[in-house]
Structure 1
Amino acid sequence: MNKIKIAIVGMGNCASSLIQGIHYYDGKNSDDSIGLMHWDIGGYAPCDIDVVAAFDIDSRKVGKSIDEAIFAKPNCTTIFQEEIPKYDVCVSMGHVLDGVAPHMSNYEDDYTFVVSDEEPVNVVDVLKESGAEILVNYLPVGSEKAARFYAQCALDAGIAYINCMPVFIVSDDEWDAKFRQKGIPIVGDDIKAQIGATITHRTLANLFKDRGVKLDRTYQINTGGNTDFLNMLNRDRLDSKKESKTEAVQAVVAERMDDRDIHIGPSDYVPWQNDNKLCFLRMEGRTFGDVPMNIELRLSVEDSPNSAGCVIDAIRCCKLGLERGIGGQLTSISSYVMKHPPVQVSDDEAYENVEKFISGELER
């Protein structure tokens, strides 16, 4: 089969994990495909994804080949696939816009962004010349202008858009209408992890509901040491992130909780954690006879590979959308792998919808 040609905005830890994974699974088969939710989607295996264009703003990545850039600072995720073939594609200088928070300049270069003095490229021209079919957005949290800029670039280039960060584009009716009119699929917003804080919190909240337990109060506090957590020290950039994570849980509780009884959001940056994310979760409820109970959970995951396991499915489902001529929101895969999809459904229903979409039983 033909390769799925993608472009990536933001060559950070998430992009590194995705590209490592593409090559890690090359030569494997469905019997030894540990860590995948789907080995085959529409005839496409993970190794059928090809990165044909990339954009970043860091001087240690711009101008470097993709295989070099994914291991450059400040990337700090686990290297599980050291051998990456040499790419002919070099990272292009992107547009900074609001992609770099001012406080990032207060930290050592190894932990933060070092903005290149190169001139930004014409993104639409690069996308067209590369032959990319899908643009994957891995911009930092809070990059509202930049996320919309690249969404428009995808639209102008006539390619699909997967929004992995919490700016509400795919779940916005106006953006949906634009892509729908052009017959281009979109997936988003804000990528989940395979087994991460949000999916675990949702599962437990749903368990409370199904077992007749009243959920009174809950919090989810996360710490990490990658650039994502450093970037999120600026609380002004967190409105959409907090809303995305909170709504993902609110969507599955029996009745909507009061804002003061639910707290979900990034807590702090701990440099030595690198790409490891710690989630501290507490849920307080009442069982039979109004008797109180609580759950406390500590979850430790390598953040970026955890999300790559979902993105690799989003890319292949997006390719099916392209092949089938579907424009606008792909609601099935969005509900399955995104925190703030256009339509929130239970995780069981989302899984069933994705299976139906892959088989062709469900349109989108």
Structure 2
Amino acid sequence: MDRAHTHANQKGKSNSSRSPGTASNFEVRILGKINVAVVGVGNCASSLIQGVHKYREAEEGTDIPGIMNTVLGPYHVGDIDVVAAFDVDADKVGKDLSEAIKSGQNNTVEFHDVPHTGVTVDRGMTHDGIGQYLSDVVTVNHDPSTPGGQTADIVGILREREVDVMISYLPVGSEDATKWYVEQALASGVGFVNCIPVFIAREPYWQKRFEDRGVPIVGDDIKSQVGATIIHRVLTRLFEDRGVQLDRTYQLNFGGNTDFLNMLERTRLYSKKISKTAAVKSQLEQEIGTDDVHIGPSDHVPWLKDRKWAYIRLEGTSFGDVPLNVELKLEVHDSPNSAGVAVDAIRCAKIALDNGISGAIQAPSAYFMKSPPVQYTDDEARQMVELFAGGEMNPENSFTPRKFSGVADAQQ
């Protein structure tokens, strides 16, 4: 099916004026194809790329297991086309993307064969992307005189390949590396999807940078389709709605991929713990004590590979001051669980581009991310995304934000 046609008429209103001399980069977008650049060719990127190929011929208007929206706005899930990829792992740089997603420490499930793509993984920027534990298993070539030893011209590649959206899968704790890639996206005039807990979309400074450049950002810290965070949020909201006081709760997570290996380095977890805690606490009307909430990654268990096990417990007080406790265990393949959300976040970023919407995009960020600029209930956020995809560019105006939404709430 040919979905491509030129979309020159901007339906929405931009949050700011465009920068002089930059209109040629994004004034006219082509519907029917979304050129994507992936930062970090790890398990999540592998699942995303496999999924895009798997569902490329999915029939529109049908319910397909694993897909929230086969078509979102004007875009089919198969319209996503990864045209650039960046990594620092010497075992991935220089390889075709179809080979790189099975290289290095990648250990996610291979659920679909990806043919030769013609996209070679380029050498990215390291900065603080490789921590103490990752450095033991990932080899980085720092010799600029050898192939793959020097950072590629990221801006040049983004422009040459007419990238629409950059999606970041950098390791947790990559504060400097994330900001560096954000600068490349801004310089190139492309949208950005921030899947990790480095606060960009929720920060006024970066919001204004994206507004001034005339491009959107969806962030921060991606939720899984049915992961520990969204289950914990929904149960927390259920307690609230049914009149049960949440007294204390925990969420413990174990996994065997390099994400969990990296998070053994506790100094890299500051933003991650804030992000996951704020996502849950935002669903409460009343504050809960700091000592009564514990949420975060707990350990690395190599034999789990890309599986994640989460243990969640909620203790509350119900009618008659009687205790009420809920305890559950979640077992998931971590990366496919994330990719099912990423395909929608990417398409929402492109919808924003098509409509001239810039800055932090509230509706998709609230539904797809743990730490959006503004928190809503998940049901409200879903409705907002549906309205957004249907052409209403500011659906958040019809909904009330949660009382506890910010980073400060999680730090209390």
Question: If the length of structure 2 is used for normalisation, what is the TM-score?
Answer: 0.85
% identity of equivalent residues = 51
Contact 2:132 2:262 in 1 (8 A): no
Q: Which residue of the partner structure matches residue 324 of structure 1? A: 355
Which residue does the alignment assign to 1:336? 367
CA gap 1:354/1:27 in 2 versus in 1, 3 angstroms: same
CA-to-aligned-CA distance 1:298-318 (integer Å, 9 cap, x gap): 000000000101110001111
Please give the secondary structure, in 2, of the residue aligned with 1:252. Answer: coil
Alpha-carbon spacing, 1:252–1:32, altered in 2? closer, same or farther (3 Å): closer
RMSD of the TM alignment (CA)? 1.0
Residue 119 of structure 2 corresponds to 89
Range with bigger deviation, 253-262 or 275-284: 253-262
1:32 Cα deviation after fit: 5.4
Matched with 1:187 is: 218
2:238 and 2:176 mapped to 1: Cα distance? 38
How far apart, in 2, do the equivalents of 1:351 and 1:32 lie?
17
Secondary structure at the residue paired with 2:116? coil
Give 2:290's match in structure 1, choosing from 226, 240, 259: 259
The structural deviation recorded for 1:18 is 0.3
**What SS class does the counterpart of residue 62 from structure 1 fall into?**
coil
Give the corresponding residue for 1:18. 48
Q: In the TM superposition, what is the alpha-carbon distance from 1:341 to its structure 2 partner?
A: 0.3
What corresponds to 1:109 in structure 2? none
1: CA distance between counterparts of 2:150 and 2:225?
A: 37
The counterpart of 1:115, out of the listed 135, 140, 146, is: 140
2:326 and 2:138 map into 1 onto residues whose CA distance is 38
Letter of the 1:4 counterpart: I
- 1:307 is paired with a residue whose SS is helix
For 1:309-320, what aligned pairs fall within 5 Å after superposition?
309-320=340-351
> Is 1:286 aligned to residue 317 of structure 2?
yes
8 Å contact 1:25–1:33 — kept in the other structure?
no
Instruction: Look up the equivalent residue of 2:133 and give its one-letter code.
Output: H
In the other structure, the counterpart of 1:207 is: 238
CA distance in 2 between counterparts of 1:192 and 1:283 reads 20
Tell me what 1:52 maps to: 83
SS in 2 for 1:86: coil
Q: Deviations over 1:163-208 (max 9, x none)?
A: 0000000111110101111210110000000000000000000000
Q: CA contact under 8 A between 2:312 and 2:329: conserved in structure 1?
A: yes
Partners of 2:252 and 2:44 lie apart in 1 by: 21
- Equivalent residue pairs, number: 358
TM-score by length of 1: 0.97
1:276 paired to 2:301: no
Deviation at 1:129, TM superposition (A): 1.4
Where do 5+ consecutive residues of structure 1 fail to align? 107-111
2:399 alignment partner in structure 1? none
1:100 aligns with 2:125: no
